[in-house]
A and B are shown apart, each in its own frame.
Chain A
Amino acid sequence: MQTQEAKLGTVPEILYINSGSCNGCDIELLAAFVELQETGLKFNVNVEARKPRYDILVITGPVTAQSFCRISRMLREAGGRLEVEYAVLLGSCACGGGIWYDSYATLGGFDSFLNYLRRVEEAELTIRKEKIYITGCPVRPRDVAETLREILEKIYG
């Protein structure tokens, strides 16, 4: 019998990007990770893209102009294109830009970040399966853990 891991070839990889959030969502995400580990599902967390494909992208923050530079640099270093199966947007910042949605220093959330990325940089970020918005300011750890668990279970099949 093959183990689940062997079937997949590897443990699901989560790419986690803080795009200039206030830390509220990040700490709640930490609490969610702690909760998730108790379920026994295995996953790896990366904070810098080193390869062209990840299973889950978790993003917090409204994407500030400064971190936009940083993220695009990261994408360029990873070969100009990045593919993820699922994108999980945490908090009202990533989902809709939050209270600073129209400020000069933010790009107003993940969706408009994708537009800018296409327009300004020649980098590309593709979401293959689903984009999931978890709203709240900050998000609640319980709901984040639930959502991530569902996704991980789908990946494990």
Chain B
Amino acid sequence: MIDRLRECGLRDFTYIDDETVTTCVRPEELSQILRCLILRAGLHFSTCVGVDVRGLGEQGIEIYYIVSGKKLRLLLRTSVAPSEKIEVPLDLPCTYWCLHEARDLVGLNLRNEVYTYRFVLPDSYPRSVCPLRKDYQYSERPLTKCVQEMPTRPEKAITLFPHIPYFYEHEDFIVYVDVDKIVDFEYRGFYNHRGIEKVGETRLKADQVPFIAERICGICGYTHSCAYCQAVESALRIDIPESARLTRTLLLEVERIESHLLWLAILCYMINLRDLFLKLMRCREHVMSMGEILTGNRKMYGINVIGGVRDFITSERIEKAARLFSELKTQCTKLLQELKSSERLRAATRGVGTLSREDALITGAVGPVARASGIDYDVRKYLPYAAYSQVSFSIPVYSEGDVYSRALVRIDETLESIDIIDQVLGMSRALLEKPHRSEYEWLPCRVGVGMTEAPRGEDVHFIITGHDLRLYRWRVRAPTYANLPSLWKSLIGEKLEHANLIIASIDPCLACTDRLVVVDTGLGKVRKITRLVEVREA
């Protein structure tokens, strides 16, 4: 693998941990190197992180590009002088968002802006406000009267309201159509930007951050707290106990089932399978109860700490959960088989919203979206974490790239998760072994990356440690953030009536994406299409 990196012109690697290497590159070479890594070496572009390094005794901004492959995670570090401008590689849409986010939040200068309007923050915040710069006070609210925030609002427009009023999250999708064919598409989101990264870097201490990380998303929160803890564990080289690894695996899979069932239920609702919708939701309630039995809360498990897990797991709880699980298993499997063989599902989703393998690669799609387009990227296999190297499971991959394959990937994955939980519950002796957490010593100026495979795809947390149990920089890249750009490829050219279904098919979770600015539309799944504007050409 390292040879392939050399071919792309990279040298002088330093190892952060066994799987993470870092190297420095000059800003002008970057676009070329990224192109080579993604298009030729077949690596996956995870994200980039802008860091205001003035607090570390340096000048200007540093950008870390995170690129991942099998058993390898590459951190490319570039220093940007205060007046220097960075070029956005236009042929790699996967880089657009993170670079514009760095522009809004850290004050990076871009030579060629793709989005000229404020991307993450409200339009009413002055351009000079860059909240993630170190001289910005985290609780300052430069709120003024709001200006029109949509980038455009065409004359001949009608607004279509949310598909399902109960699932609701802010997000604007503007779709331009020619008769009924979608010709262009604009997106305005980040309504959920809550400034999480800044709070984690200032008010909170590193040991409290898992709680806020968990609240990034109300559907897949646990995976965020795991990714954060892994990032710190990799930065400080903490080895976590076996029982903590198993506990995390168990809960991550419980969460995956819960999330996929919700998505599948909403899909059923959208294609008019109301009966299955109710059944899946009811089944999901049992999964929620499992979380409650194990950790005391239906959601927001609150069990992760740096170095392991808190002492919640007792033998009675495991036994009770196992009893519930054995009932749930058969019921759930039956429902999923029923859905898989449903004619309605096939008829409504086959051939809709196709995303080709190449498009998935350059837009940086992850998770079920990528796996439905023939990319077998799954962090659990590529860069195993928690106890995933100890359990056996397979990764379902389909190659058609349509909504139907995305549904099949999620159905198969849920079945795999059931199997993983079975295996972990079978190791209850190891699960209960004490201690559940390792002690650690806090060291400043360490860099760490934590990645997990969230239900929606790869979730990346990047940290730089600061002094006194504080973080210098914390960056979260939620899976929906990586998946939304793929909509430009899968939506254009489709029929308007399918727009809802296609948008829902990436399982957009705006809460995560907007952390600071979150873009979750609603319920995890059905993101509400707040405004679907239709323009008809005369």
Binding site for B on A (CB under 8 A): 16, 18, 20-31, 33-34, 45-48, 61-62, 64-70, 72-73, 98-100, 102-107, 116, 120-121, 137-138, 140
Contacts and interface: CB of A to CB of B under 8 A. Distances in A.
Contacts of A62: 194
Interface of B: 121-125, 131, 136-149, 161-162, 165-170, 190-196, 198-199, 203, 211-212, 215-219, 221, 262, 278, 281, 285, 298-300, 509, 511, 514, 516-518, 520, 522-524, 528, 530
Contact of B514 (A20, A25, A70): A20
B139 A47 contact: no
Pick the most buried of A27, A66, A69: most chain B CB atoms within 10 A of its CB: A66
Contacts of A100: 194-196, 199, 212
B144 to A, nearest CB: 7
B524 A23 contact: yes
A141 B216 CA distance: 20
Contact of B520 (A23, A47, A65): A23
B179 to A, nearest CB: 27
A98 B124 CA distance: 24
Contacts of A104: 131, 136-142, 195, 198
Given A66-B190, A100-B195, A104-B195, A73 B166 contact: no
B290 to A, nearest CB: 16
B270 to A, nearest CB: 15
Nearest to A137: B300
Closest 9 CB pairs of A and B: A24-B218, A103-B195, A105-B195, A23-B218, A69-B146, A22-B218, A102-B139, A66-B191, A20-B192
A22 B167 contact: no
Contacts of B193: 20, 64-66, 105
B215 A70 contact: no
Contact of A137 (B137, B215, B217, B278): B215
Given A30-B523, A121-B145, A67 B170 contact: yes
Given A66-B122, A66-B170, A100-B199, 11 more contacts: A16-B168, A66-B517, A73-B146, A99-B215, A100-B195, A100-B196, A103-B138, A104-B139, A104-B195, A105-B193, A138-B299
B215 A24 contact: yes
A103 B215 contact: no
Nearest to B139: A102
Contacts of A22: 192, 215-218, 221, 511
B146 A121 contact: yes
Pick the most buried of A16, A28, A48: most chain B CB atoms within 10 A of its CB: A48
Contacts of A33: 166
Contacts of B161: 47-48
A62 B522 CA distance: 16
Contacts of B514: 20, 64, 66
A105 B131 contact: yes
18 contacts: A18-B168, A21-B192, A22-B192, A22-B511, A23-B169, A23-B217, A23-B523, A23-B524, A24-B218, A24-B300, A47-B161, A47-B162, A64-B514, A65-B143, A99-B199, A103-B198, A104-B138, A104-B198
Contacts of A23: 169, 217-219, 509, 511, 520, 522-524
B69 to A, nearest CB: 31
A91 to B, nearest CB: 9
Contacts of A120: 143-145
A107 to B, nearest CB: 7
B122 A65 contact: yes
Contacts of B195: 100, 103-106
Given A69-B124, A104-B141, A27 B194 contact: no
Contacts of A102: 138-139, 199, 203
A65 B170 contact: no
